[in-house]
Amino acid sequence: MTFPAMRSLSTNGGTGSRDFFFILHYLPNLDDLDCDWIGSYERAFWEDANKTLEGRPSKLRRLTFHQRATTDEQIANFILPWIPHLREITIKKRLSKELAEEAENKDTAGFTLASQKLEILQDQQCRVFDQFARLKRLSVLELGMFVNYGGPISQTLELTLGTGLDRLSALTNLDVFGFEGVDYRLGRAEL
């Protein structure tokens, strides 16, 4: 049974990976999904999304995350490929700040990131920007960045050419690029 009339859904709490794909399947005309978080670490189920969605990508156009649970790798590899019509992505500032504070606490406790770990994080960020760049219809991208000038922070997107920001130049319909909780309108030349 599907609910074709439902266009918008806001969840009060998290949405597990299994539930996320069931939402996309049973609400085929959903335009807007606002949830605290998406995901779990059931990698096998993420990889089985094709079966759940019966090979049909979702028509979802707006997606908002509020809290931590979805990693860069999950966004790039398992969420974005199934929502090619996405036009707006918002990763709320609360999520970015929470991730940054956790990384900072680990650094002060002596658990600094090794250079190999930093390379892996940078590669993950490049993959996320690559996936965003494939969403040619995307007009709004809000990352909710939390800035810490001490260096790269695990699970946050660093807005530099080294992390693949230049890949967004493929988004010719991008009108709004937001970060730090504020909408910034950039010309296409800056991207």
Tokens in use for 134? 């494939």
Tens of pLDDT, residues 29-56: 899 988 877 765 556 666 667 677 777 8
Confidence at residue 163, expressed as pLDDT on a 0 to 100 scale: 67
Tokens in use for 106? 């680990």
pTM of the complete model beyond 0.85: no
CA angle 18, 88, 55 (to 5 degrees): 40
Name the DSSP letter for residue 99.
Answer: H
- Other beta carbons within 10 angstroms of residue 167's beta carbon come to 19
Confidence at residue 110, expressed as pLDDT on a 0 to 100 scale: 42
Tens of pLDDT, residues 128-138: 778 788 888 88
Task: List per-residue pLDDT tens for the chain, 191 residues long.
Answer: 567 788 988 887 777 777 888 888 888 889 998 887 776 555 666 666 767 777 788 888 888 876 655 665 666 677 777 888 888 877 665 444 444 444 444 444 444 444 555 566 666 667 777 878 888 888 887 765 544 444 444 444 556 666 677 888 888 888 877 665 433 333 344 44
Q: Alpha-carbon distance 186 to 169, whole Å?
A: 11
Q: Alpha-carbon distance 13 to 67, whole Å?
A: 9
Confidence at residue 137, expressed as pLDDT on a 0 to 100 scale: 82
Q: Alpha-carbon distance 94 to 100, whole Å?
A: 10
